[in-house]
Structure 1
Amino acid sequence: MTPASVALRAAIHHALTSDTALLAALGGPRIYDEPPREAAFPFVTLGEARISDVSADDAPTQEHQLTLHAWSRQGGHKEAHLITGALLQALDDAPLAPSGHRLVNLRFALADIRREPDGRTYHALVRFRAVTEPVS
């Protein structure tokens, strides 16, 4: 991971753990980089990241494609959709301040909500695209 991606993930985690609507949907601050072995449902995990150099001049600019995962076992697909909506409200175009970097933009890209093979767990993959530049 790059310093920009580490700073961006930290800023995202802080934004999510500070968002009252998301915390209400989750029943508390259940937002993890790696969930505890016996994590209570529902919860959100910070997932995969793809980082690309999109520099157009002397300033090193990076594009980040980030995936968040929401996990639910209550109320069928409805809870997974509500959590996905709360993630969008918390992050889409949010004015985050990753340490040492400027967030050019953070935009929702797509969401994929599906039932897992166990038949009772719903899994939402929520993807965002961000662009960062170092603070000069």
Structure 2
Amino acid sequence: MSVPLDSPALALRAAIHAALADDGALTALIGGARIHDVPPADAAFPFVALGEAVVADWSTATEAGTEHALTLHVFSRSGGRAEAFAIAAAIGEALHDAPLALAGHRLANLRATTAEVRRDSDGRTFHALVRFRAVTEPL
């Protein structure tokens, strides 16, 4: 199955990326606009990566809609859990109920649902997972 170019999932990812890159509080915490769809192998820490998305039909009998379950990832190597939690909180502040403009779609809502921080198996990287739920509608 191919993803159409006017996909609400791709439009939402692009809007989230732009909102995070433009958020001064977040970029101050991560040292610039270190927000990646696919992080480079030599990405400087800390950074944010747009992660998994589960997309489901949210249509009614009369209206089309799409539900999105999104995960954003934070990777930190200095400051441990405290830095990872601070960055996760900044992401939540930047995106929770944000009125993002999506190409070809309308964002009905965007809600932060959970955040967790864990230590990766390398023993020195802390990894935060920040999860969101969104609903979009076609224009």
* TM-score category (smaller protein): over 0.9
Q: Does 1:74 align with 2:82?
A: no
**1:66 CA drift (Å):** 0.4
Q: Does 1:37 align with 2:23?
A: no
AA at the equivalent of 1:79: E
5+ long unaligned stretches in structure 2: none
AA at the equivalent of 1:90: A
What is aligned with 1:98?
A: 102
Q: Does 1:19 align with 2:59?
A: no
Cα displacement string for residues 47-103 of structure 1 (whole angstroms, at most 9, x for unaligned residues): 000001011123210000000000000012110011001000100000001111110
**1:118 CA drift (Å):** 1.2
What is aligned with 1:127?
A: 131
**1:119 CA drift (Å):** 1.1
Q: Moved runs in structure 1, 4+ residues, more than 3 A?
A: none
What is aligned with 1:9?
A: 13
Q: How far, CA to CA, are the matches of 2:34 and 2:114 in structure 1?
A: 22
Q: Does 1:55 align with 2:59?
A: yes
AA at the equivalent of 2:113: A
Query: Could you say what secondary structure the match of 1:108 adopts?
Result: strand
AA at the equivalent of 1:21: A
AA at the equivalent of 2:25: A
Query: Could you say what secondary structure the match of 1:93 adopts?
Result: coil
- Does structure 2 retain, via aligned residues, the 8 Å contact 1:59–1:134? no
Query: Could you say what secondary structure the match of 2:135 adopts?
Result: strand
Query: Could you say what secondary structure the match of 2:41 adopts?
Result: coil
- Does structure 2 retain, via aligned residues, the 8 Å contact 1:31–1:43? yes
Instruction: Please tell me the root mean square deviation across aligned C-alpha atoms, in Å.
Output: 0.9
Aligned length: 135
Q: How far, CA to CA, are the matches of 1:11 and 1:118 in structure 2?
A: 32
TM-score, structure 2 length as denominator? 0.94
5+ long unaligned stretches in structure 1: none
AA at the equivalent of 2:70: L
Instruction: Report the identity percentage.
Output: 59
Q: How far, CA to CA, are the matches of 2:55 and 2:115 in structure 1?
A: 19
Query: Could you say what secondary structure the match of 2:106 adopts?
Result: strand
Q: How far, CA to CA, are the matches of 2:41 and 2:125 in structure 1?
A: 16
